[in-house]
Every structure is written in C-alpha cells, then in structure tokens.
Structure 1
Amino acid sequence: MYFIIIIIGYLLKGILPIANLLSIQYLVSEIETRSLSHTLQISAVFPLILVMFCGLLISSLIEYSDKLFQIALINQLQTLIVLQTSTFNLADFENPQVHNQLKRVQNDSIDRPIQIYKELINFLSSMVTLCSSIAILIAFRWWILLILIVSPLASFYSLLRFTQIQYVAKKKRAPLQRKSRYINYLLTNEKSFKEIVLYQLSDYFTAKYKSIFDIFYKEDKYLAKKRINLYLSFQVISTLFIAIALIMIIQISWQEKLLVGSIYALVQAVLLTNQNINTVSQGLISLCDHNLYLDELFAFFNINHKQENSGMLLRESGVRADATIECIEFKNVSFAYPDQKELALKDVSFKMKRGESLALVGRNGSGKTTVIKLLTGLYEDFKGDILINSISIRNYNKETLYDRIGVIFQDFVQFDFSVRENIGFGSIGHLELDARIWESAQLTGVDKVIRDLPNQLEQQLGRNFEGGIQLSGGQWQKIAISRALFKDADVYVLDEPSSFLDPESEKQVFRQFQNFINDRLCLYISHRYTSVLYADKILVLDKGQIVEEGTHQELIKSRGLYYDLFSDEINTFQEALVTNDAR
C-alpha cells in the first residue's frame, strides 16, 4: 500500500514544477496585460498558492510513506540474509570466497535495493517533469531540444564506463576490508584485549589498520579526481549549450514580441529540461551502478551449499529417524576438507551401541574432531558410509537427526544472553522449563554458581550488554555442557569437554555424566587421558586412521601409541611432583 501511495505521490510531484511554472507565467501575464485590482490580485495569485499547498501536502504524504516503506524493506532484506546464512554448512563458513561475498553483501549490497528504489522513484518524477518541459519547448521550437541533449548523451556514456571501473576497484577490496574488520575486532574485543596489551601489539595492529585505509584513501582519491574531471568537463559544455538555447529564445521572443510571462516560461522550460535530462541520465548511471552490486546480492542468495562432485550428500528430507538411536557405525569412511588434497580420515570403521561410551584419542590433527563433524552432518562430502540404526545418514532428515544429538565443541559458544537461554538453547522448545534447566545445571555442578548470581536463571551473562556478569572459563564450559545435556538426546558428543575444568571439577562432571548417559550413546574426545578412563572403549587415531582400539587396560598392555601418550602425561605429572618435593 505504501509503495502505491509513493508512486502516485512522485507522479504528482513530477507535475508540480511545470504547474508552478505555468502559475507564475499566468501571474506575470495577468499583471502585464490587465489593470491591477483587488479581484485581480486574488485570481492571479490563487493558482500559485494552490500549487504550493498541493506541493506541501504531497511532500508530507511521500515522506511519511517513504520512511515506513524503507524500514520495512531493509528489515526484510536483513532477515533474508540471516536466513540464507543459516542454511550454510561448515564448509561455507570456512571458505574465504564465501566470507568475502558475505561481507560485500553486508557492506555494499544491503542498502542497494533502497537506493535503487529511490533512484527509480526520482527517475519517474524527473521523467514526468522532463516530458512536461519538453512539451513546452516543442510547442515553441522543437529544434531547441536537440541543442540541449547533445552534452548529456556524451556525459552519460563516459560516466557509465567510469561506474564500471569504480565497481571493479571496490570489489577487489573485499579481502582487505575483511582483514581491517578483523583487526578492528581484535582491538575492540575483550577476549583479545589481554594479549594485545601484554604483548604490546596495539601499535602494530593500529599501524596495519591505518595502512589498509591509506590504500583505500589513495584509490578513492584517484577515482574522485577522475570523476570530478569528467563531471566538470561535461557541465561546462552543457552550460555553453544552454547559453546558446537561451540566446536564441530571447532573439525569437524579441522578434515575435512575446509577453514577459511567456519568455519566463520558456527560459524555465529550458532550465528544467536541462536539469531533468541530467537527473535522468545520472539516475540511469546510478541504477547501472547499483545493479552491479545487486548482482552480488542475488549471487549470495543463489549460493549452492552442496559440495560439487559429491555423489552422496546428506539430504534435506528423507526417512524419519526412529524413536531412539540404538547404534552408530562408520563403514570405511574417508574425507578430505575442501581445497585440501590430504585425507583427514582414511578408511575409518567402528561401531557403537546404545549404553556404550566411546573415546577418541590421538595427537593433534589426527582426525578426532573430523569424526564428530561428519557424524553431526557439518560436512557431507565423504566416502564410505555412516549408518544410524543400519540406515545411511544420507537418508535422514537433518532436523530430526539434530534433535537426537547433543553436542559440545572445544570452541563452544559463550552466548551473551541470560543463563536460562545459555542452557535452554540446547532444546529451544523447552526454554521455559525451569526444573529441567536446573537439573541440567546440577549435572555439571554449575547450579551452585547460578544460585549465587543476583538474578539466577534470568541473569545476563557476558560484558556486551548492561548488567552482564562475566564467568570464568571453567564456569562457561560447565554452562556449555549443561546446554548439551538439556537436550533429551540419544547421542551425546563431547569434544574436549573438560579443557577449562580443574581436576576436581572434571572428576565431578564425568561421574555425573556417566550416570546420566548409562542408557544412551556417548562419543567424546579428550587430551586428558585420565578422562578417557571412563569410556567403555577407546579408539586411537593417528594421521586419520584408527591404529588401536580397546579398553584402557588392553591398550596399556599392547604398549602401542596409546601407551606412549598415556605414559607421557603420567610422566609429566610425576616430574612435576618430584620438582615440587625437591623445593
């Protein structure tokens, strides 16, 4: 509705300049040809007053409707971008090209539809005014119009070429712009603040930040200089053509003894024609410019999230999951990350059943976290198969699968929201169930921390918002584990679940956790080998392959890689004790 009102309003607004011109012509002509009287004053001025009043009414209506329409359009576009981003998979977020495209859309394309809308509306209004002023000139002498359009046509072509050059230059900036924003994040974020201060990195990052903007400034200065030179050159030429047209109008008016009001109307028609020819040509150039950026927006919305050349992908819809997940099996699974030739997993096979807990151990980069990413569907292009209840994971509905799995990653998120939300996000549909939230908090021991907070479950966490309280690393990790446990899942996947916990807290959490998952499936990763003692079975990975498997006692007896890694950890503790005793 608002858009229709705006269109009608701008059409009427386009008529106003000509209506104003004709009303002034009428006023001047009336004064020139008739004797001045009280009645004449009212009748001559009335059309001009009416045009002014209509202009005020139309402008107010346009401003009101325009503001509401723009707000609605921007909100809709931002929502669409967020929705599109939510469909990305992990490979998209780890792809620099997708990141660059996302930043270009956020920074250069998000406001382009609004600008295109404004240009189209102004273009429409200018065209109405232009056609009206052209009609006046054609009625007088049609060839005057030809004099006025020579210069704008030449400037239109030149500025259009310049716009394309400017777009290409700005598109190349995306990587540097992303780097500048990252540096800005480092300099203004509390998580990086401590190291930047202690390592005295502020000057270094500030210099890098400034150097990027110096590059942009030089480019912008060159482009601005080139554009102003083009603009001034054609404006000078255009002014000369206007002068020629006005001289010819004055000569003809003198010869034909036209009234002053008519001469005024012709002069204004020339100026309006020139002004609106320039406005229309600039509008077309701007539309072409915006269209280049709009292509980025449409390309972003059309991003194909599926890996190419993948014959087997996790489908968006397929068989529904069973009521419970009874078993999970990896069968000869191999996987390489996008743009990487080396396999992260090589022919990995294992099986776990309900009621079992399985631990993955190995050196850094051995493929442990990759197993979890494949199991949770974050990466899809793998060889072999992953079976859930003897059905390929590729045939499962994604949302149904996610409902059955609770996960905590080693880089867990610290949501700067309330305690309720931080735990309740584990099962968003049960956010208001206080008893379940407290039960999940109790399993990790973080309930004691929450009860000491001023607002308990409603307490704002983090420092980004007013009234927020910052937790310690260990407390945040307990919150994250509670979030995973809040979901009534069949499978729990824990990646380094105790990395921030002290030994006492770790022992408490794992004891509670073992009781909680006694009739579920549990897969976890840990570099603390004291943690994996709780697992029913241990898989040892090395360079993407399973090199050993068994219980803790079985692996110690075999004296393989697990024995070496476990012994290294124990020896480290013993050396620390000896050193402490020696002091």
Structure 2
Amino acid sequence: MFDRSRLHRLWQVRRSVQLVWKSSPKSTLIHGGLMLVLGLLPVAGLYLVKLIIDTVTAQEAPEWESIGGLLAAALSIAVLTDWLRALDAHVSEIQSQQVTDHVHDLLHKQAIRLDLGYYENPEFQDNLHRAQTEAPYRPALIIDRLISLLQNAVSLGAIALLLLAFHWELTLGLFLFMLPILFVRMRHARLQHRHWQSWTARQRQAYYLSQLLNFQDHAKEVRLFGLGNHLHQRFMDLRKSIRQDRLALSRDRTKGEALTQGCASLGVYGALAFLAYQTMVRAISIGDMVVYYQALQRGQALLRDLFASAAGLYENALFLANFYDFLLLEPRVKEPEVPCVIPQPLRGEIRFECVRFDYPHGTRPVLKAVDMTISAGEKVALVGKNGAGKTTLVKLLCRLYDPTEGRITVDGIDLRNFSSEEWRKQIGVVFQDFGRYQFTVRENIGFGDLVARNLPGQIEQAARLSGADGFIAGLPHGYDSLLGTLFAGGEELSIGQWQQIAIARAALRSAPIIILDEPTSALDPEAEAQVLERFRQIAEGRTAILISHRLSTVCMADRIFVLDDGRVCESGTHTELLSLNGVYAGMFHSQARHYRTVQE
C-alpha cells in the first residue's frame, strides 16, 4: 500500500538538503568530497594489510625492501586519513555554523511576518518551541547522515566485492544478521518523535518555572511570598516526569539493541569459525583469513553505521516537520494584493462601523457591534471596566488583528486596503505592557522611528516631550547609558521612568495618530500632571486616543467614549457624561468618593 507519510518524510530530507546547500554550498561540497575519500581509504589500508601478511608468511624469505614499501604505503594512508579527518571536522564546524545562522534567519523572518494572534495561542507556542529547539541543528545533521550514508555505502560496497569474491553466502548472512538493528532504530525514532511532541508543553512549563526562579522580573515576589522552594519543587516534578518518560524510552531501545547486537555478534563469530576451518584445510591462506575476518568486522561496523545513518535521516526528517510546518504558516491579517496609497497628509478621521471581534481561541466576543467616530485632530479617551475591550479596540486600529465583522476606516478608506506595515507607520503607540529593551537610552527611544533616530536632536526632543530628559541627564553616560540589569554596566530604572522612555519612543514618531494606553499608571501625581501637559503638546495637530482608568486623567479629552460589555454605551465630554448620571458618572463618583475618604 502506498505510504504518503513516508513520501512526505523523503520530501523533508530533500528540502533539508536544499536548505543546507543554499546556506553553505562550498562547505557542503568540500565536506561531501572529504567523506567520500575517507570512505575509500580504509579499504585501501585493509588490502595493504593483506599484502603485508601474505609477504611475511610466504615460504620464501621476503625482501625487506618489499615489506618496507608496503609498510610505508600503509603508513601514508593512515597519516592521510588522520589529516583528512581533522580537515573534515573543521569544514563540518564551518558548515554547521552557516546552517545554524541560516535557519535562525528563516525562523526570525517568519516570526516577524506572523501576526499577533499566533503568539496568543498556546498550541502555536508549542510548535514554535519545537521549531526553535530542533531546527538550528537538524538540517546539518541530515547532511552529515546523508554523506555518512554514502561514505559507508562506498566502503561497504568495496568490502562486499572483496567478500563476494570469496563467499557470497557469507556476505548475505552478514547482512541478514545485521538487518534487525535497522528495524529497532527506525521504531525508536518514531517513538522518540511521538513522545517528544507530548513533552513540549511540559518542557515549556519547566522553562517558564526556571525563568521565574532565575530572572529579575519576579525576584521580589518570589522572595517576599516565599515561593522559591514551591516553584523549584514544581520544576523538579516536571523534570522528573519528562526524565521518567525518556528513561522508559531508553530502556525500550536498550532491550532491542541488546537482542539485535547479540544476533550480529553471533553472525560474525559464526563467520570466523567458517574462516578458521577454511584456513585449517588450506583452502585459504593466513593472510586471507586475517583480511576476510577484518573485512567481516569492518563490514559489520559499516552496516551498523549505515543503518544508524538511515535511522538518523528518518528521525531528523520527523523532527524537522515542525520547522517546515512553521515556515508554511500564513498571517491571518491578510495583505491586499494592490495596497491603497495612504493619503498624505493623513487627516486621521477614524470610524468603527459595527465592529465585532472574537479572539481566535476565545469563548465569547470581546467587542459587539461597536460604532464610533473619532474626528480628525480630536483628542478622545476610552474608559471602562477591565475587560471592556479598550485595548482590543487599539489592537484592531493598529491592524494587529482584523475585525471578525464590520470594518474600520481612516479618512473613509478601509484599513484592510492599506499595507499593514505602511499603516503602522502612521501610529505612535504606548501599550500598557510596553517594552523595556535592555539597550542604551538612545536605542530605546530610537526604536520608535528607525529613520528619525538618525536625525540630529530628534531623540533629545522626544525625551523632553515625555519628561525623561531630567533623569537621563543624571545617568552615568547620558543617552548612551545601558538600561536594565541583564547585561553588565546596565542602569535599572523605576517603572515610571521606563514608562517615560516608552512615551518618548512614541513621541519620536511624527505620526498623525497617537495612542497612549494607561500612560500615567506608574507615575506619581506630579509626574502625571507633567505627562498630561506634555501629552497635550505631543497630540497637537494629531488625532489622539487616551486609555486610562484614572478618570481625572481623561477630563482634558475633547470627547470620552465609555465601553461596557464590548459596546460603546456612552459618549460625550466629561461634563456631559456627568450630567447623564450613567456608567461614567458612577465610575467617576466612585473614584472621587475614595479620594474624599482619604482626605478626611
């Protein structure tokens, strides 16, 4: 019966060979040539050993010159073999590094290409983990196995011709005694791959627990709540379960290997008994016996290596399937075939028209028929309880996702008609979970606009707008100071200072639309007032969206949209919403009551 899965694995081998060739053609060619030569040299050495023994055991006294010449030839082959092996090891290392870098290049480009929805999916995270851990070295292994297979086949072919000339039944018997080893190794490769897939989630959990114990982000809480031993024990329990599965698999393989290797040894020693009998009855010479026995041993070793290479090819093809599946993933945020040109200048009028959104693996809609218009140049605020959909609206506006239903337009054009890359250049955004890059201050701010960062004074101006220039001046190397404690010499900042850096990053981009998600959540009241004043300056002439739970922060907005249960339930100015005495008024009075209680 036609086995499509085996054909698919052969196709994976072919793709891996193409990948290695593309990443390191010169190294692959040299590596392959060296291994083929190394496959032939042992056969030549074996034949010289036969000649030496036959010469020494000849009835006539041999001339030293004839033996010396044979020994010199054997020595030359041995030295050449050692040199070529050393050279091949160096070439193999070059090839391995080139392939690893090429695979990382493919992985990173695909990771950049895929949209945010994939990264919020645990199944995708499992597949990504498998691709990242296996792909960098598996293609080079496939080439090694393939070349080793060819090298062993060449050597085995030469030895087989030698043995067939003596006794073809002996050669066939050797092969049959070794064949069970191949079946055992192929079965183990299948089992290992199957178990490996089931281990991935546990391995990622163990890695996460290790991060909690070893990284700074959770160091304070781990110590304050006494979580260290608890988390360590959970890590050890996971590692134990994985280890037990691995050892069970290893025991299974050991049993199979012991049985098949015993059969192989029985075949070789049976052949030795046959050779000894042939020598005793003078059917062959002592030199023939030595050479044929060495050929049998060498043939057994080559067959073992040949089967190991074949099983290795099969195993690596199985493991690389996840990598190639990862490369085949397509973004869910589809690019238009012919993108619309973004109007310049962009006015920035934003309309949400009956927008509904469900997260791919969610169980309920996050947004339900949202209708909302933000006029060009208007400063609006989005408020609502946690989970109301405020940040989701921003993600849709940034085209990190597309609406499940409805559409979003800017200046009358559906966002889906723009190139997502070009559209995102029109937005400066600070998310609540902003990035804290372990680079210099200049790089942290400069990531906001990779073009503007090279213009004189732009980074410093962005820092002044966010209020970060004050503490930057006090850092040891100013804008060239390394931030964070991940690398030596780094300076750690407070959360509020990191937030000011993030705001400076958004301010650097001269985008017509600016979005701040909880921009003052980590700031003290004085710093909050300064940031809001600077926000007014940054937002001048732009369409601005502010998300905040502090309702005192949103009073300065031209209009406030109140979200509740995935819908816009109220909109208006601060004064208008208070007069409605609805959801917004209830939230505002609740916060005001808290402040009055504290003052009393």
Q: Would you call these one fold, judging by a TM-score over 0.5?
A: yes
Report the equivalent of 1:559. Answer: 581
Report the equivalent of 1:423. Answer: 445
Distance 1:165 1:572 in 2: 62
For residue 65 of structure 1, report the CA deviation from its aligned partner: 1.4
| Contact residue 430 and residue 515 of structure 2 kept, 8 A | yes
Report the equivalent of 1:266. Answer: 292
Distance 1:178 1:43 in 2: 62
| Contact residue 350 and residue 373 of structure 2 kept, 8 A | yes
Distance 2:133 2:89 in 1: 26
Task: Give the AA of the match of 2:291.
Answer: A
Distance 1:465 1:2 in 2: 35
Report the equivalent of 1:86. Answer: 112
* 1:127 equivalenced with 2:148 (yes/no): no
What does 1:183-582 align with in structure 2 at a 5 Å threshold? Answer: 183-306=209-332, 313=334, 315=336, 318-326=339-347, 327-578=349-600
Given candidates 31, 40, 49, the residue that maps to 1:6 is 31
For residue 424 of structure 1, report the CA deviation from its aligned partner: 0.3
* 1:31 equivalenced with 2:56 (yes/no): yes
For residue 87 of structure 1, report the CA deviation from its aligned partner: 1.4
| Contact residue 268 and residue 296 of structure 2 kept, 8 A | yes
Given candidates 136, 154, 163, the residue that maps to 1:137 is 163
For residue 317 of structure 1, report the CA deviation from its aligned partner: 5.4
Secondary structure in 2 aligned to 1:147?
A: helix
Distance 1:481 1:401 in 2: 20
**Identical columns (%):** 29
For residue 282 of structure 1, report the CA deviation from its aligned partner: 1.7
| Contact residue 495 and residue 522 of structure 2 kept, 8 A | yes
Distance 1:39 1:271 in 2: 30
Secondary structure in 2 aligned to 1:173?
A: helix
| Contact residue 356 and residue 403 of structure 2 kept, 8 A | no
Distance 2:135 2:446 in 1: 35
Q: Deviations over 1:522-541 (max 9, x none)?
A: 01100011110111110011
Secondary structure in 2 aligned to 1:295?
A: helix
Distance 1:537 1:339 in 2: 33
Secondary structure in 2 aligned to 1:466?
A: coil
Task: Give the AA of the match of 1:105.
Answer: A
| Contact residue 412 and residue 480 of structure 1 kept, 8 A | yes
Secondary structure in 1 aligned to 2:268?
A: helix
Given candidates 75, 95, 99, the residue that maps to 1:69 is 95
Q: Which moved more, 1:40-49 or 1:85-94?
A: 40-49
Gaps of 5+ in 2: 1-25
Cα gap change, 1:316/1:574 in structure 2, threshold over 3 Å: closer, same or farther?
A: farther
- How many aligned positions are there? 573
Secondary structure in 1 aligned to 2:563?
A: strand
Distance 2:487 2:456 in 1: 23
| Contact residue 361 and residue 541 of structure 1 kept, 8 A | yes
Q: Deviations over 1:407-427 (max 9, x none)?
A: 100000110100011000000
Distance 1:288 1:63 in 2: 24
Q: Deviations over 1:149-201 (max 9, x none)?
A: 12222232233223212221121011111111111111111110100100001
| Contact residue 356 and residue 404 of structure 2 kept, 8 A | yes
Distance 1:274 1:460 in 2: 60
Secondary structure in 1 aligned to 2:370?
A: strand
Distance 1:37 1:156 in 2: 47
Distance 1:193 1:244 in 2: 65
| Contact residue 381 and residue 557 of structure 2 kept, 8 A | yes
Cα gap change, 1:511/1:384 in structure 2, threshold over 3 Å: closer, same or farther?
A: same
RMSD (CA atoms): 1.5
Report the equivalent of 1:581. Answer: none
For residue 359 of structure 1, report the CA deviation from its aligned partner: 0.4
Distance 2:576 2:84 in 1: 86
Distance 2:141 2:133 in 1: 14
What does 1:10-21 align with in structure 2 at a 5 Å threshold? Answer: 10-21=35-46
Q: Which moved more, 1:508-517 or 1:480-489?
A: 508-517
Gaps of 5+ in 1: 308-312, 579-583
Q: Which moved more, 1:179-188 or 1:109-118?
A: 109-118
Cα gap change, 1:79/1:225 in structure 2, threshold over 3 Å: closer, same or farther?
A: same
| Contact residue 316 and residue 398 of structure 1 kept, 8 A | no
Distance 2:48 2:338 in 1: 68
Secondary structure in 1 aligned to 2:401?
A: coil
Distance 1:381 1:115 in 2: 44
Secondary structure in 2 aligned to 1:319?
A: coil
What does 1:92-103 align with in structure 2 at a 5 Å threshold? Answer: 92-103=118-129
| Contact residue 474 and residue 501 of structure 1 kept, 8 A | yes
Report the equivalent of 2:190. Answer: 164
Give TM-score scaled by structure 2 length. Answer: 0.93
| Contact residue 32 and residue 147 of structure 2 kept, 8 A | yes
Q: Which moved more, 1:513-522 or 1:69-78?
A: 513-522
